[in-house]
Structure 1
Amino acid sequence: MKYYPTLTIVFLLIYSINTCSQTKDSINNLNFDELTNKYYEYKVTDSLKARKYAQAFFNKSIKEKDTINVINGKYYLCDLLRKDSTYFNYIDSIISRTKRKPNKMFPAYLYSLKGRYYLNRYYLNKSLKNYIIALKYTELYKNDSLKHIFKQKISILKYRNKNFTESKMINLDSYNFYKENPHFINPREYYTLLSNISSNYLKEKKYDSAIFFNKESSKYALKNNFLFFIPYSIYRKGQIELDQKKYSLAISRFKEAIPGIIDEENYYILSESYNYISKAYTSLGNNDEALKYNLLIDSLYSKTKIIQKSQRNAYLYLINHYKEKKDLKKQLNYIEKFLKIDSILNSREKNLSKTFSEKYDKKRLIAEKEKIIYELKNDISTFQKSKNYFLVILFIVIILFLYQYNKRKIQKKSFDKIITDLKNKKTTILNEGENKIESSNISKEIINDILSKLHSFEKNKGFTNSDITLSKLAKELNTNSNYLSKIINQNKGVNFSTYVNKLRINYILLLLEENEVIRKYTIAAIANEVGFKNAESFSKAFFKETKLKPSFYIKELENQKVT
């Protein structure tokens, strides 16, 4: 009996060695995708297990001399240990070696890894610099597959820089390239491309196209068993519904997407999701829930220390919330946080819009910060505070009054000038540049003939036809568009579009001055009367010619007629 403990220990040791050996063998039998999945499975819950899988991934890639996976393995190890500098030093050392003998893959791919790292952490300028270098190498060594992947990343940067049209053009160019060359498709990048095109169309409020490409991205993810992408398609659907003012539906979509986004550790999208939910609740008048999600954005920042744009909106909301609650300490806390993240974002993205800053002026925030600190320290009397507020309001009222007075004075001067001009040249609709006959490569006879026909066109009010175009008018005058365009440019002093708009505006000025009935029309009806297709284009053309809005001009004209 006394030997049993010893035998038990020996048995347990043998069992432990066998188990470890079997575990080691089983890890070594996993492929790169399986090791990656295991790494991410344990990354948050068990860092020791995650490190085993990361090390196995790294060792396997070295054994198989797979350079790209060696780099990925190094990233997994450094990411666990939070040693970003080690990862960058490793990449830079490979860049240094591969730059001596560049090829289709290297060093382009290495620069793109740095670009991706900076993009995920919102260092946009650094990201762009690395992607531009990567793109240069793909063009030099004709790697079309990588070139379009890198162009997609530059498209994302253009989107974040508010160059929405250019972003869309790049994405559609890649989309068409892949349709003609499907063998170049990288499945994961192609999903991202479809999703980004959906975002491009959403920005233009072309909802049908946005929904179509989002559905395509979702179907593509399911087809390739990319289940981790599904939350992003749901998130995009929430964005579309939010933009369509379907607030309750949008909230449900974002909440459905959030667990998968958290699993992916995509803190940028997670923070944006909280931001959108807050906006939806605000629109529904549910301020308690809106407050909750803005506080979640603040909590996420405290946890990750990753600075991003959605925090601007959150802190502006929290500043105003605690201002209304008269909680000066919390108001000051969020002002300081806003100023900090706003300053860092502006230094990183020098070319990006300052919209959030403009909505809550930085100088005013700084002044308000100093004022709150002063109030907390010195407990200014209610009377003194009221006096200060009164003086500020009085100053603003005076400034606004002076501005409106000066604006009104300028408008009246413009109006009087138009009335004087109308009295002096009632019979002439447009005469600028009419004495200029010369036009290169066109005979004087043709020029005179076309000018004569243009005179008839003006006299007969042909410009009031809303469907008139350069080609249609050229056909009516029995000439070609090129001749007509040149003659208008050189003899009227403007291009065709401006020429027609000037005729229309000058004509309506005469009509409004002479015809009381016309003055009673709506702006849209007046626009239609002289050939404009809508009130907006008419108002723009009217303001361009007169520096006045049509409504103001008609009102002044009515007042003048009464007096």
Structure 2
Amino acid sequence: MVKLYSIFFVFVSIFSYSQLKGLAFYENLENKLNNFQKNDEKAFVYISPYLNRAKKENNLTKMATGYRNALFFVAAPQNKLRYADSTIYTALKTNDPDLIAIAYLGKGIVYYSTFRNYKAALKEYQTANQYLKNSKDEYLKHKVLYQLGVIKSYLGYNTDAIENFNRCASYFKQQIENDFNPNALFNNKKGYLNSLHQLAICYASLERKTKVDSIINIGLFVTHQQNDFLLERAYFKKCKGILEFQNENFTTAQMDLGEAMKEISKVDDFAWLSVIYFYMGKNQLIQKNEKKAISYFKKVDSIYQERNFILPELVQNYRFLIDYFKNNNDKAEQIHYLEELIKVDQRINKDFHFLSLKVNKDFDRKSLIDEKNKLENKSKFNQYVGVTFIILFVILLSLYIRHIRNQKDIQRAYDELQVKLLNFEQDTSLNNQPTKSTKNVRSSISPDLLKEILLKLDNFEANNEYLHKNLTLAKLAVKFKTNHHYLSTIINEQKGKNFNQYISELRINYITQQLYSNKKFLSYSTQALADTCGMGSRNSFTSYFYEYNGIKIVDFVRKRKEELGIK
């Protein structure tokens, strides 16, 4: 009966709104939407009549607004994109640059907040920015400035991002103090709180704990007993939980993170949920609750598998999983998470390369032009000093970036080789199973002779006889009591490589396994390692090691020592 009454009440309300004329109709329905949270589709009881009236009147501005409201309250991610496209399509018909910019900005925000697709979001922000060149809408300009700050923060350009967010926080705070319109007040307050949240994130990345604590306290104070800003309060609780963890207040940290998780999960903000799970896992790990910690770390991985997104700071999540399964002798899981770590690392590197180029090229060009004009107005000496400094800075920055990328490439190569080594340990060794010929061989070699030589090759590999120095095809043929031509043919056709490649690969595989499983080999010189595997020549050994393993011998030894804690 109560439910029936509620439906009747809504119907009567909508009917009464339908009697209103002109802008009052739209304004009344827009005010009603303030009672709903993001992704609450019950709001469509007001959005539908809003859009119907706008379409009937062919009011393009209100149609665009209706579609924009729809994308905010619809829950399904793909439907958000559809409404975003409808907003853009309708806005373009109005030829209003500000309205078009709002539409493109809205789609960019959907890509960012719903999909965490920074590439797609950046493209929409670029388009919005073009339409805002001559705009006088400061609120809209600061929304774009805020979103660019988010991308800079994601890339690790925290100092630049802080400048964006400080400007946004200052602007939105000023508007709160001067504007008493309820809708404008709500939007500006939301902008202010979001800017504070992003400032807390940036300062946390710079390890400015006192500053972070101060910002969190402001955020919690402003959102205290404010039901319209429960989500924003949850973000500050999330930051507080992380800070408490870093300050080793583990019980408080767990409470704050848990409280934040409840609210953030309602809007399915998977990016920050994964951060919360990560820190809850670390919190449990420190308190020796390994199994509970691993369950949280697995949740982080589940989010990545489902959404194909992970924040750079969560890469360590996979290190925890790898170490756990390594310590528990679960090689299958260890290999699985090593492979996932490699994928995650590649995904992040790909994103960073694209975004950093775009942010610097498309949005900082104006700053560079301004800087150039300033330099041109200075004396020739100051120009020379300034340009020299910039060139030196760019060179040093390039060298630093190159070093960082090189280290990441080394880590990736090491991880890939580690997967290969662990798989080798898991699989039944070829040395323990006779080679079965399934390939066609030259008719001049009888099946019996083929079987005999393959068996001898198996024994040759099993007994590590390839480690003997000065081993040649002729010598091995004599040992096998066969024709060197037959032996060469069988190795080529059955092993898929010539004699020298076959022996070199066996030697490199042997020495790599020894370096990975036997600590004493890590103290050997490169020449000693070459001698041990029978190669003799230091240059040939290092060249073959890199060719077969994709990582230099010195880098592999260094990474293995780091992993084992050997200095």
What's the TM-score bracket when you normalise by the shorter of the two chains? 0.5 to 0.7
Q: CA deviation at 1:259?
A: 0.8
Indicate the residue corresponding to 1:97 in structure 2: 93
Matching residue within 96, 104, 107 for 2:100: 107
Name the amino acid aligned to 1:129: K
Conserved 8 A contact 2:325-2:331: yes
Q: CA deviation at 1:274?
A: 0.6
**Deviating more after overlay: 374-383 vs 134-143:** 374-383
Indicate the residue corresponding to 2:218 in structure 1: 216
Aligned length: 381
Matching residue within 138, 145, 160 for 1:166: 160
Conserved 8 A contact 2:63-2:90: no
Q: Deviations over 1:469-505 (max 9, x none)?
A: xxxxxxxxxxxxxxxxxxxxxxxxxxxxxxxxxxxxx
Matching residue within 336, 344, 369 for 2:419: 369
Counterpart CA distance in 2 for 1:313 and 1:331 is 14
Counterpart CA distance in 1 for 2:31 and 2:127 is 29
Conserved 8 A contact 2:421-2:513: no
Q: Deviations over 1:50-82 (max 9, x none)?
A: 766664564466579524531234426865383
Counterpart CA distance in 1 for 2:213 and 2:423 is 49
Counterpart CA distance in 2 for 1:356 and 1:117 is 34
Indicate the residue corresponding to 1:71 in structure 2: 67
Question: Alpha carbons of 1:16 and 1:255: their partners in 2 closer, same or farther (altered >3 Å)?
Answer: closer
Indicate the residue corresponding to 1:397 in structure 2: 523
Counterpart CA distance in 1 for 2:4 and 2:233 is 42
Alignment of 1:91-170 (within 5 A): 91-94=87-90, 96-98=92-94, 101-103=95-97, 105-120=98-113, 121-170=115-164
Counterpart CA distance in 2 for 1:315 and 1:322 is 11
SS where residue 106 of structure 1 aligns? helix
**Deviating more after overlay: 161-170 vs 137-146:** 137-146
Question: Alpha carbons of 1:328 and 1:27: their partners in 2 closer, same or farther (altered >3 Å)?
Answer: farther
Counterpart CA distance in 2 for 1:51 and 1:356 is 52
Counterpart CA distance in 2 for 1:210 and 1:85 is 34
Counterpart CA distance in 2 for 1:156 and 1:169 is 11
SS where residue 378 of structure 1 aligns? coil
Conserved 8 A contact 1:291-1:318: yes
Alignment of 1:42-441 (within 5 A): 55=48, 58-59=51-52, 65=59, 66-75=62-71, 79-80=75-76, 82-83=78-79, 86-94=82-90, 96-98=92-94, 101-103=95-97, 105-120=98-113, 121-181=115-175, 182-183=177-178, 186-222=188-224, 225=227, 226-302=229-305, 304=307, 306-309=309-312, 312-350=315-353, 358=408, 361-379=411-429, 388-392=512-516, 393=519, 396-398=522-524
TM-score after normalising by structure 2 = 0.57
Counterpart CA distance in 2 for 1:310 and 1:76 is 29
Q: CA deviation at 1:158?
A: 1.0
Conserved 8 A contact 2:67-2:84: no
Question: Alpha carbons of 1:85 and 1:357: their partners in 2 closer, same or farther (altered >3 Å)?
Answer: farther
SS where residue 276 of structure 1 aligns? helix
Q: Deviations over 1:340-365 (max 9, x none)?
A: 33333332232579799949921122
Counterpart CA distance in 2 for 1:360 and 1:250 is 35
Counterpart CA distance in 1 for 2:200 and 2:253 is 16
Q: Deviations over 1:206-238 (max 9, x none)?
A: 333322222222222237542232211211111
Q: CA deviation at 1:336?
A: 3.0
Unaligned runs of 5+ in 1: 1-11, 44-48, 403-563
Counterpart CA distance in 2 for 1:108 and 1:326 is 56
Q: CA deviation at 1:115?
A: 1.8
Q: CA deviation at 1:243?
A: 3.0
Conserved 8 A contact 1:138-1:144: no
Counterpart CA distance in 1 for 2:14 and 2:146 is 35
Question: Alpha carbons of 1:321 and 1:141: their partners in 2 closer, same or farther (altered >3 Å)?
Answer: same
Indicate the residue corresponding to 1:419 in structure 2: none
Question: Alpha carbons of 1:76 and 1:19: their partners in 2 closer, same or farther (altered >3 Å)?
Answer: same
Counterpart CA distance in 2 for 1:356 and 1:253 is 39
Q: CA deviation at 1:163?
A: 0.8
Indicate the residue corresponding to 1:508 in structure 2: none
Q: Deviations over 1:29-62 (max 9, x none)?
A: 684464575575865xxxxx67666645644665
Alignment of 1:459-498 (within 5 A): none
Counterpart CA distance in 1 for 2:253 and 2:82 is 42
Name the amino acid aligned to 2:421: K
Unaligned runs of 5+ in 2: 18-27, 180-184, 357-400, 433-461, 465-508, 529-567
Conserved 8 A contact 2:39-2:75: no
TM-score after normalising by structure 1 = 0.57
Larger radius of gyration: 1
Question: Alpha carbons of 1:207 and 1:62: their partners in 2 closer, same or farther (altered >3 Å)?
Answer: farther
Question: Alpha carbons of 1:90 and 1:274: their partners in 2 closer, same or farther (altered >3 Å)?
Answer: same
Conserved 8 A contact 2:294-2:321: yes
Counterpart CA distance in 1 for 2:164 and 2:153 is 10
Question: Alpha carbons of 1:149 and 1:256: their partners in 2 closer, same or farther (altered >3 Å)?
Answer: same
Q: CA deviation at 1:263?
A: 1.3
Question: Alpha carbons of 1:391 and 1:190: their partners in 2 closer, same or farther (altered >3 Å)?
Answer: closer
Q: Deviations over 1:138-184 (max 9, x none)?
A: 34212111111221121111111111111112222233334555447
Question: Alpha carbons of 1:201 and 1:330: their partners in 2 closer, same or farther (altered >3 Å)?
Answer: closer
Indicate the residue corresponding to 2:448 in structure 1: none
Counterpart CA distance in 2 for 1:275 and 1:157 is 22
Conserved 8 A contact 1:39-1:53: no
Name the amino acid aligned to 1:390: Q
Name the amino acid aligned to 2:153: Y
Counterpart CA distance in 1 for 2:126 and 2:77 is 30
Question: Alpha carbons of 1:200 and 1:190: their partners in 2 closer, same or farther (altered >3 Å)?
Answer: same
Conserved 8 A contact 2:64-2:87: no
Counterpart CA distance in 1 for 2:6 and 2:278 is 48
Question: Alpha carbons of 1:377 and 1:205: their partners in 2 closer, same or farther (altered >3 Å)?
Answer: closer
Indicate the residue corresponding to 1:490 in structure 2: none
Conserved 8 A contact 2:87-2:103: yes
Question: Alpha carbons of 1:310 and 1:144: their partners in 2 closer, same or farther (altered >3 Å)?
Answer: same
Counterpart CA distance in 1 for 2:81 and 2:71 is 11
Question: Alpha carbons of 1:35 and 1:365: their partners in 2 closer, same or farther (altered >3 Å)?
Answer: same
SS where residue 149 of structure 1 aligns? helix
Please, what is the CA RMSD of the aligned residues?
Answer: 4.0
Counterpart CA distance in 1 for 2:520 and 2:420 is 21
Counterpart CA distance in 1 for 2:76 and 2:44 is 7
